[in-house]
Amino acid sequence: MTSPTSGDRDKVVSKLPPTLQQDLKIRAAQHGTDIQHAVEAGITAWRRLGANLPAVDTGGAKPFATFLPPGQWEQFRDDCTSRGVSLIQGLAQAVHLWLETNPAPGIVRPEHPKRIITCNQKGGVGKTAVAAGTGEALAEDSDQLHPVRISKHFAAALTDPDDEPASPLDYEDLPGLGLRVLLVDFDPQGHLTKQLGHTPLPIDGDSLTKHMAGEPKGNLVDLIVPIEDPRFGDRLHLLPACTDAFLLDVKLSSVRAREAALERALATVEGDYDAVIIDCPPSLGLSMDAAAYYGRRRDGENPGNSGILIIVQAEDSSADAYDLLTSQIEDLRSDMHLELDYLGIVVNHYDPRRGYIAISSLQAWIDIKDPRVVGVIGDLKEQKEAVRLKRPLLAYAPRCDQSVGMRALAREIS
Can you give the pTM of this predicted structure? 0.86
Q: In angstroms, what CA-CA distances link 145 with 109, 177, 231?
A: 20, 10, 10
Q: Report the 10 Å Cβ neighbour count for 370.
A: 7
Query: How crowded is the C-beta side of 258, counted as CA atoms within 13 Å?
Result: 16
CB 186 within 8 A of CB 287: yes
Separation of alpha carbons 118 and 126, rounded Å: 10
Contacts of residue 302, Cβ cutoff 8 Å, sequence gap at least 6: none
CB 119 within 8 A of CB 127: yes
Separation of alpha carbons 408 and 359, rounded Å: 21
Q: Give just the sign of the alpha carbon dihedral 300, 303, 308, 311.
A: negative
Per-residue pLDDT of the chain (414 residues; tens, 9 = 90+): 444 555 689 999 999 999 999 999 999 999 999 999 999 999 999 999 988 899 999 999 999 999 999 999 999 999 999 999 999 999 999 999 999 999 999 888 888 899 999 998 777 888 999 999 999 999 999 999 999 976 544 444 444 444 444 344 578 899 999 999 999 999 999 999 999 999 999 999 999 999 999 999 999 999 999 999 999 999 999 999 999 888 898 989 888 889 999 999 999 999 999 999 999 988 888 999 999 999 999 999 999 999 999 999 888 777 778 888 888 899 888 888 889 999 999 999 988 888 888 888 889 899 998 899 999 999 889 999 999 999 999 999 999 999 999 999 999 998
Please tell me the predicted confidence (pLDDT) of residue 2: 47
Separation of alpha carbons 87 and 98, rounded Å: 17
Please tell me the predicted confidence (pLDDT) of residue 35: 95
- Return left, alpha or beta for 361; rule: phi > 0 is left, psi -120 to 50 is alpha, else beta: alpha
DSSP-derived 3-state class of residue 48? helix
